Amino acid sequence: MTDYRLYCFAQSGNAYRAALMLNLIGAKWEPVWYDFFGAAPQRSPEFRDSINEMGEAPVLVDGKKKLSQSGVILTYLARKTGKFQPQGEDEELEALRWIIFDNQKLNGFLGPYRFLKNFAPKPGDPAVMAFMKGRIDGSLAIANKRLEKMPYMLGERPTIADISLTAYLYYPPEEFGFDIAKDHPAVGAWLERIKALPGWKHPYQLMPGYPFGTQGLMA
């Protein structure tokens, strides 16, 4: 019997944050395929009325509780289990600072960039793509500088700030056209440390929808 259900799909870094957190804390959970690229019944009025009024994934279902937005899900699971939880007000605020930075600046640009490059009906406008790439490089440089000084974003142990930042960073370099780990070595080393945590899995192994457009999971 599962403790949680998570509406998610393999190509979503936003959903990956929540799925990875569930796996890292050793939760019993079941993925529910959000068919973003297909019929997507989750976009229906029924889904919006009963699951998530925003019509988005991820959505975490815990009994009668339904939570959306990955930062909220990470915070909830950390508080409930005590795992990857920032300790004290200063750490909580610092974690929130990096989660907001990540959502607005780093993966907030990296996700749309990858979507326009790989999945959009028409390629992204070159000027738009160049602008987004500049913002991505700048944000990765900030994270890289931080990780040159410490093993994890808040210090000596991983927290939900680290899990949030992983969102799109494990997807294959060919999906971006550049190699994040190679271009930003401290980020690359940090990704290897996260990858070594018990329960880590690649997004294509963890969530349904890969190969593209199917409910299958990569072996």
Secondary structure (3-state) at 64:
coil
- Residue 140 has what pLDDT? 98
pLDDT one-digit tens code per residue, 20-74: 999 999 999 999 987 777 766 666 787 777 776 676 789 999 999 999 999 999 9
Q: Do the Cβ atoms of 106 and 165 come closer than 8 Å?
A: yes
- Other beta carbons within 10 angstroms of residue 107's beta carbon come to 26
Please give the share of the chain, as a percent, with pLDDT higher than 90.
80
Which residue bears the tokens 């929808």? 209
What is the pLDDT at residue 79?
A: 97
**Mean pLDDT to the nearest integer, 134-139:** 98
From CA 9, how far away is CA 16, in angstroms rounded?
8
Contact between 124 and 117 (Cβ < 8 Å): yes
Angle at 124 between CA 122 and CA 126, to 5 degrees: 135
80-122 pLDDT per residue, tens: 999 999 999 999 999 999 999 999 999 999 999 999 999 999 9
Residue 219 has pLDDT above 60, yes or no: no
Amino acid, single-letter form, for residue 120: A
User: Partners of 160 in the beta sheet?
Assistant: none
Average pLDDT in the 117-141 region? 95
Least confident range from 89-103, 164-178, 203-217: namely 203-217
- pTM of this prediction exceeds 0.85: yes
Buried b / exposed e over 69-95, threshold 16 CB at 10 Å, is: bbbebbbbbbeeeebbbbeeeeebebb
Domains and CATH numbers, the chain: 4-83+200-206 (3.40.30.10), 88-195 (1.20.1050.10)
